[in-house]
Amino acid sequence: VRKALPPYRIKVVEPIPFLTAEERRRALADAGYNPFNLRADQITIDLLSDSGTGATSAAQEAAAALGDESYAGARSWFRFRDEVRDLTGYPRILPVHQGRAGERVLFGSLLKPGQICISNTHFDTTHANVLLAGAEPRDLPCNEAADLDSDEPFKGNIDLAALERTLAGPEGHRVGLVLMTITNNGLGAQPVSMANLAAVRELCRRHRVPFFLDAARFAENAWLVNQREAGYGTWTPRQIATRAFQLADGCVVSLKKDGLAAIGGFIGLRDDELHAACEANLIATEGFSTYGGLAGHDLERLTQGLREVVDPAYLRARAASTERLAELLDDVGVDTVRPAGIHALYLNAGRLLPHLSPREFPGHALGCQLFLDGGIRCAELGSLYLGEMDEHHRLLTPAPFELVRLAIPRRVYTDTHLEYVAAVLADIAKDPEQVSGYRIVSAPPLLRHFKVRLEPL
**Catalytic residues, which ones?**
71, 123-124, 214, 216, 257, 449
How many angstroms separate the Cα of 321 from the Cα of each of 139, 201, 414, 446?
30, 33, 9, 35
For the bound state, the minimum distance from the C-beta of residue 382 to ligand F0G, rounded and expressed in Å, comes to 15
259: nearest Cα among 200, 306, 220, 297: 306
- Restricted to residues 359-418, the positions that interact with ligand F0G (CB under 6 A) are 407
Shortest Å distance, C-beta 258 to ligand F0G:
10
CA distances in angstroms from 438 to 34, 200, 328, 385, listed in the order given: 11, 41, 28, 13
Binding residues for ligand F0G restricted to 303-322, rule: CB under 6 A: none
Binding of ligand F0G by 53 (CB under 6 A): no
Q: Which of residues 261-280 bind ligand F0G (CB under 6 A)?
A: 265
Nearer to ligand F0G by Cβ, of 133 and 395: the residue is 133
Interface with ligand F0G, residue 254, by CB under 6 A: yes
Q: Does 126 bind ligand F0G (CB under 6 A)?
A: yes
Q: Which is nearer to ligand F0G, 68 or 214 (CB)?
A: 214
Crossing angle between the packed helical segments 312-331 and 218-228, to the nearest 10 degrees: 80
Query: Which H or E element spans position 214?
Result: strand 211-214
Stretch of 17-25, 96-104, 155-163, 310-318 lying at the interface with ligand F0G (CB under 6 A): 96-104
Concatenating the DSSP letter of every residue in 71-120 gives: SSS-HHHHHHHHHHHHHH--SEEEEESSHHHHHHHHHHHH--TT-EEEES
Query: Which residue(s) pair with 442 in the sheet?
Result: 453
Q: Is position 256 an interface residue for ligand F0G (rule: CB under 6 A)?
A: yes
Q: Map residues 59-88 to x or -, x wherever contact with ligand F0G holds by CB under 6 A.
A: ------------------------------
Shortest separation between residue 406's beta carbon and ligand F0G, angstroms: 11
* Minimum CB distance to ligand F0G smaller for 363 or for 437: 363
Q: Which of 433, 366, 352, 363 is nearest to 398 (CA)?
A: 363
Q: Which amino acid is at 414?
A: T
Least Cβ distance, residue 125 to ligand F0G (angstroms): 5
Backbone angles phi, psi at 102, to 5 degrees: -60, -40
C-beta separation of 404 from 371 below 8 A: no
Q: What is the nearest approach in angstroms of ligand F0G to the Cβ of residue 221?
A: 11
Alpha carbon distances (Å) from 20 to 26, 72, 149, 206, 375? 10, 50, 36, 61, 9
Taking the complex as a whole, the smallest distance from the CB of residue 420 to ligand F0G amounts, in Å, to 21
Q: Distance between CA 158 and CA 114 in Å, rounded?
A: 22
- Of the residues 74, 216, 309, 443, which one makes contact with ligand F0G according to CB under 6 A: 216
Q: Which of 98, 196, 322, 336 binds ligand F0G (CB under 6 A)?
A: 98
Of 94-102, 322-330, 386-394, 408-416, the segment contacting ligand F0G by CB under 6 A is: 94-102
Taking CA 153 as the corner, what is the angle to CA 251 and CA 1, rounded to the nearest 5 degrees? Answer: 100
Question: Binding of ligand F0G at residue 348 (CB under 6 A)?
Answer: no
Which of 33, 123, 346, 401 lies at the binding interface for ligand F0G (CB under 6 A)? 123
Site membership for ligand F0G, residue 121 (CB under 6 A): no
Question: What DSSP character marks residue 20?
Answer: -
Q: Which stretch binds ligand F0G (CB under 6 A): 93-101, 167-175, 292-300, 320-328?
A: 93-101
Q: SS3 helix, strand, coil % of the chain, rounded to 5? A: 45, 15, 40
Residue 120 interacting with ligand F0G (CB under 6 A): no
Residue type at 161 in one-letter notation: A
The strand pair at 250-254 and 265-269 is best described as antiparallel
Task: List residues binding ligand F0G (CB under 6 A).
Answer: 49, 51, 98-100, 123, 125-126, 181, 185, 214, 216, 254, 256, 265, 407
